[in-house]
Structure 1
Amino acid sequence: MAARLSAHLTIMANAAQKAAKQLLRDFSEVEQLQVSIKGPSDFVTQADIRAEATIKQELTKARPGYAFLMEESGASGGDNWTWRWVVDPLDGTTNFLHGMPHWAISIALERRLPDGTIEINAGLIYAPCTDEMFWAEKGSGAFVNERRLRVAARRDFSQAVFATGIPFAVTSPRQRLSFARTLSTLMPQVAGIRRFGAASLDLAWVAAGRFDGYWEIGVKPWDIAAGILIVREAGGYVTTPSGGDQIADDLVAANPTLHPKLLEAVADGVSAAGG
């Protein structure tokens, strides 16, 4: 795989793999982790903090002038950046803490263009427990390890399996109402809906054709930045519930055939919740 990676993706892969070694050691001793609680269902572990520090150190060493947006430490590097790393060092923290192997490291690279717009230039999602590395660079396609990725070709809604994020205790009434409305619309029409608890991997699995689509309301940029590019480079659509391309915290992803119908259901849910 190394021969196919660009300089940026090589840097990202090396940082993710170095952090993964630490995370896997901690995961094997999950009961002994020191855990502090930020809020209900929102935990931060010492493993999370160490992984973020390792990734930041590795990326800074390779590209010292780049800015950061990171889950734990926030934004750094100034406002007038041209290149910015967007990092979630441990997406699926609750899974990790409960000994469930569905978690990942997500790293994206954003570029600010001369006109001020921001594009995602490269994305990498690494699942250490399965040793699957999903990666893409703008205009160059999407891959998992050595294999090219394409979104699923299913055309029938009744055969589709979608992923989502279920609102929990601290989420807003808007998010809960939107989810309930969308779920009630979709459930009678589709083959299944899954909630696995790691947004980055939900998007990676859409790119791999394992899921036919994914939607979530109120997700964070470090959870989805890499996955947005990987899905798009695998031939899928990723938009806001209103169909826009500039995604902040609500998104709908699917293959080109199923995206319009999933979008309609999610947009109806958002509208019903007053969004």
Structure 2
Amino acid sequence: MDLELVKRVGIAAAYKGGIILRSYLGKLSGINKKGEIDLVTEADIGSEKVIIETILNAFPDHSILAEESGFKKGKADYEWIIDPLDGTTNFTHQLSSMFSISIAFALQGNIVLGIVFNPATEELFTAVKGKGAELNCRPIKVSGSKSVSESLLVTGFPYDFKNIIDSLMIRFSNCLKASQGVRRLGSAALDLCFVACGRFDAFWEQNLKSWDTSAGVLIASEAGAVITDFSNKLFTIDKKEILASNGKIHDEMLNLLKDSV
């Protein structure tokens, strides 16, 4: 499989999805909440539709796993994993720079291409397995911070956060007290990419879906990040816990994420 061709198609799909999302941003203000939800749903579905159409026009036998439409099995052993709007709540509230499109490509179950595009800032993060990670075609690397005390961290709260609020708050408190600060952006794909380019030193979250992490994990990994679960076992996209760091502070972060600390 020509991964450069796959990458070009994936990027084209992300750009087309971004056009759809941007077209809805100005329509969301000044309408009632139900109308906002309906428009965001339209934007989400519209972005996903054009992304899938672009991919299947080029590769009609490929499988698709997408947040809105689910899994569609193709004849070939290739799969695209798509989140057409990561950061839906931000999008709804007109936080226009904090949402993204995430597209990953898997060969026999292994992610070999990751694309995360922020339509508002036009930042395009990409990675091909074994070839490093890039931001707008320039190589990126994780930060060099050597301790949590000099690190800026980022986290997220899952939709079901009320069910795990106690452990969430213990971990958040541990990390906040130990670090320079903790941010919460609302887009896991961007969180991972911001670790990849050194804006953050570590990211952790629980209960994410495969389309939230597939592209960002490859991008961060190719930029030098260490990515595990909270028990320091290798992260896979079906796991419920993720810790991505620059590597130098990983052990310290693992200790802070013990919910009994």
- 1:122 equivalent to 2:113? Answer yes
- 1:84 equivalent to 2:82? Answer no
The equivalences for 1:238-249 within 5 A come to: 238-245=227-234, 246-248=236-238, 249=240
The answer to whether the Cα contact below 8 Å between 2:133 and 2:220 also exists between their aligned partners in 1 is: yes
- 1:144 equivalent to 2:139? Answer no
Q: 1:241 to 1:146 in 2, by over 3 A?
A: same
Which structure 2 segments of 5+ residues have no match?
A: none
Pick from 239, 257, 260: which aligns with 2:248?
257
Letter of the structure 2 residue corresponding to residue 227 of structure 1? G
Q: Secondary structure at the match of 1:30?
A: coil
Q: Which runs of 4 or more aligned residues in structure 1 lie more than 3 Å from their structure 2 counterparts after TM superposition?
A: 32-37
What is the CA–CA distance in structure 1 between the aligned matches of 2:154 and 2:227, rounded to whole Å?
14
What is the CA–CA distance in structure 2 between the aligned matches of 1:259 and 1:70, rounded to whole Å?
31
- 1:135 equivalent to 2:126? Answer yes
Q: Secondary structure at the match of 1:68?
A: strand
**Number of the residue aligned with 1:161:** 152
The structural deviation recorded for 1:185 is 1.6
**Number of the residue aligned with 1:66:** 62
Pick from 223, 233, 238: which aligns with 2:222?
233
The structural deviation recorded for 1:265 is 2.0
Q: When the two structures are superposed, what TM-score results if normalisation uses the length of structure 2?
A: 0.91
Q: Secondary structure at the match of 2:178?
A: coil
The structural deviation recorded for 1:156 is 2.1
The answer to whether the Cα contact below 8 Å between 1:167 and 1:179 also exists between their aligned partners in 2 is: no
The answer to whether the Cα contact below 8 Å between 1:215 and 1:253 also exists between their aligned partners in 2 is: yes
**Number of the residue aligned with 2:161:** 171
**Number of the residue aligned with 2:100:** 104
**Number of the residue aligned with 1:17:** 15
What is the CA–CA distance in structure 2 between the aligned matches of 1:139 and 1:185, rounded to whole Å?
35
What is the CA–CA distance in structure 2 between the aligned matches of 1:158 and 1:98, rounded to whole Å?
33
Aligned alpha-carbon RMSD (Å): 2.0
- 1:190 equivalent to 2:179? Answer yes
Q: 1:35 to 1:227 in 2, by over 3 A?
A: same
The structural deviation recorded for 1:178 is 2.2
Q: 1:134 to 1:120 in 2, by over 3 A?
A: same
**Number of the residue aligned with 2:42:** 46
- 1:55 equivalent to 2:51? Answer yes
Q: Secondary structure at the match of 1:24?
A: helix
Pick from 213, 223, 231: which aligns with 2:202?
213
Q: When the two structures are superposed, what TM-score results if normalisation uses the length of structure 1?
A: 0.86
Q: Secondary structure at the match of 2:56?
A: helix
- How many residue pairs match? The answer is 253
The answer to whether the Cα contact below 8 Å between 2:28 and 2:36 also exists between their aligned partners in 1 is: no
Letter of the structure 2 residue corresponding to residue 48 of structure 1? D
Q: Deviations over 1:228-275 (max 9, x none)?
A: 000000011111112222242320000110112112222x12xx59xx
**Number of the residue aligned with 1:115:** none
Q: 1:167 to 1:138 in 2, by over 3 A?
A: closer
What is the CA–CA distance in structure 2 between the aligned matches of 1:263 and 1:21, rounded to whole Å?
39
- 1:200 equivalent to 2:189? Answer yes
The structural deviation recorded for 1:34 is 4.2
Q: Deviations over 1:90-115 (max 9, x none)?
A: 00011111110210000001121xxx
242-251 vs 186-195, which moves further: 242-251
The answer to whether the Cα contact below 8 Å between 1:136 and 1:143 also exists between their aligned partners in 2 is: yes
221-230 vs 23-32, which moves further: 23-32
Seq. identity, %: 35
